[in-house]
Structure 1
């Protein structure tokens, strides 16, 4: 697999020939299982085949149990990550409470979550953690303890998401059997509003619906997605985007490797229509503090699209869920929790 990833990076270097790589992100799986030598090989391959910025943001997603495993050698793993060029860690904490982690079928426990952050924060200043809210039976006091625990470690970025139930998961089974309560949207909203209030008090900026960062600690990688910048995704199931075309690799590992071995790209693609791009900009832009630029709508899509957007937005503006400020369409505090539903209602349907 590692050899195939290297080969794909080499095969696709022409796609970003005239662009500078600003971020490198190891995620979408468990990249913390990679050895230091494997990580170094992949990073070196990027530098060898692409133009890379002087100080790129290089992020590694990691689980607490992996970082504290015997193979990782605990404290030295963080030093070794820094030596490879990795300068940002994304750690999947989810919760600091044992019962929550068990219900979500997480591999790590509460002690590992705390120990991992304690050690990691001594080596990395740029750390983001994931926290889940809206967990049934989680009181506001307990959610508050989760947040205070995160703040106590000095993390500068938090990504927080409402608990969702995926089909055929352990949680889905528990709920259907009646051994675990169903998701409560009112509880999730209560947690979300408390999250906004508490992070603001701690100096975080709520710069995207699910992301809270202190100044200079926003995720450069994710922000690039929201700005619509081109990117290349390497590996099985990875998606790529060049501004006009979206492509995705096959999900099957064996098919992926065999295709790469034949010097072929294991991907399919689609060309995005003007309406596709319009809808995507609405979905991503409305989630951020930068909102939707009405000038960009008119410049990129035309007056008809701008007129349509303003017409569709009227009822949400009247309900104080959206507002317009300096030619930007933005969500209000009340509208943030409903952002995705609002955006989908603003979508334009391409009937051509």
Structure 2
């Protein structure tokens, strides 16, 4: 299987922690949508011999596009690619956009038969929503400079759950000033809406973000790793107690509601990234488009690919497999290591892993190297220490 990711590089405003590629100006929106459609057509030869199982609108904020624009892009995928009978089609969305669209669905859907924007989304094939809640607390949302407020978050979920069963929400932990009790309340509020999937990330301080500037100037307290780890454990314990499967470090889903799109990434399957800054992977090469809307549009209009490509060595592939494998419930499968990379890579891996096994941070079961509960929060650092450098 393969997936198509379509990057929508527009946002109403800049979140203080975000370092993704986006623009708060929508001046080139029409040109951008046309360029996305043209890139889909230009790159169809890359996916000639495969079936598209997932289509994912990410960003940025894809919910800023109208239903008509989203439908146009979905139709372009169907026109140029072999799409499965039951693809997972995900739309990332912000609560404020969904509420605004719900108040005037006809304006957004260009479809007077839709009484709800959610009905319009379902009509065009979207069957999964990923909603950026981040927190149900006003002070957290203001610190992060989110465009929605607490009331928006709750209203949005009340409406969305009336029309969609397959919903994921994002929550952020480790926010300066947020107590463990507040964090538990965040998690329990999410559970109260019977959401079947939760993605949750530690607040990270990226260079060249407003959050980094505020911390450097002492306006906001720095992120505390111990607090973040404590809240991570609260998250894991609470969701597991409510029947969620912790299938990837930052992702929790009920049975049957894992993200098919993201699971394909973590299992090393091919995907095509469309739009400025989008990444692609075909099993041997990784490529990424330019992070500039104007230059991206100009290149596509000229019939050129605005991307750079890196050919992955066996060692590169091994390192990526170890990184993604240790983050998931599938672990690092030893027979896979041998068949893909060679016996010496398995020997190296086991030698490097031994210290962590003795420390009860890693364990081996059914030929799979896995992280223990104690090691989960440290899995990225552990994986990096298992990398080969040549």
Q: Distance in 1 between matches of 2:101 and 2:367?
A: 55
- The question of 1:97 aligning with 2:128 is answered no
The gaps in structure 2 that reach 5 residues or longer are 1-31, 106-114
Aligned to 1:149: 189
Tell me the CA shift for residue 258 of structure 1.
Answer: 1.4
Aligned to 1:286: 326
Aligned to 1:240: 280
Aligned to 1:45: 76
Q: Distance in 1 between matches of 2:221 and 2:296?
A: 40
The structure 2 residue matched to 1:324, chosen from 345, 356, 364, is 364
Which segments of structure 1 move beyond 4 Å, counting only runs of 4 or more? none
- The question of 1:158 aligning with 2:189 is answered no
- The question of 1:227 aligning with 2:227 is answered no
Aligned to 1:265: 305
Aligned to 1:36: 67
Tell me the CA shift for residue 72 of structure 1.
Answer: 6.3
Q: Distance in 1 between matches of 2:368 and 2:208?
A: 41
- The question of 1:6 aligning with 2:6 is answered no
Tell me the CA shift for residue 93 of structure 1.
Answer: 0.3
> SS of the residue aligned with 2:55?
strand
Tell me the CA shift for residue 139 of structure 1.
Answer: 1.4
Aligned to 1:22: 53
Q: Distance in 2 between matches of 1:58 and 1:41?
A: 14
Aligned to 2:104: 73
Q: Distance in 2 between matches of 1:210 and 1:147?
A: 14
Q: Distance in 1 between matches of 2:239 and 2:78?
A: 36
The alignment yields a C-alpha RMSD, in angstroms, of 1.2
Tell me the CA shift for residue 252 of structure 1.
Answer: 1.4
Tell me the CA shift for residue 168 of structure 1.
Answer: 3.5
- The question of 1:253 aligning with 2:284 is answered no
**Equivalent pair of 1:229/1:242 in contact (CA under 8 Å):** yes
Q: Distance in 1 between matches of 2:377 and 2:100?
A: 37
TM-score normalised per structure 2: 0.88
**Equivalent pair of 1:66/1:72 in contact (CA under 8 Å):** no
The gaps in structure 1 that reach 5 residues or longer are none
TM-score normalised per structure 1: 0.97
Q: Distance in 2 between matches of 1:305 and 1:167?
A: 34
**Equivalent pair of 1:259/1:265 in contact (CA under 8 Å):** yes
* CA displacement, residues 119-177 of structure 1 (integer Å, 9 cap, x when unaligned): 00101010000000111221111111101100011100000000111234332233223
How many positions carry a matched residue from both structures? 350
> SS of the residue aligned with 2:351?
helix
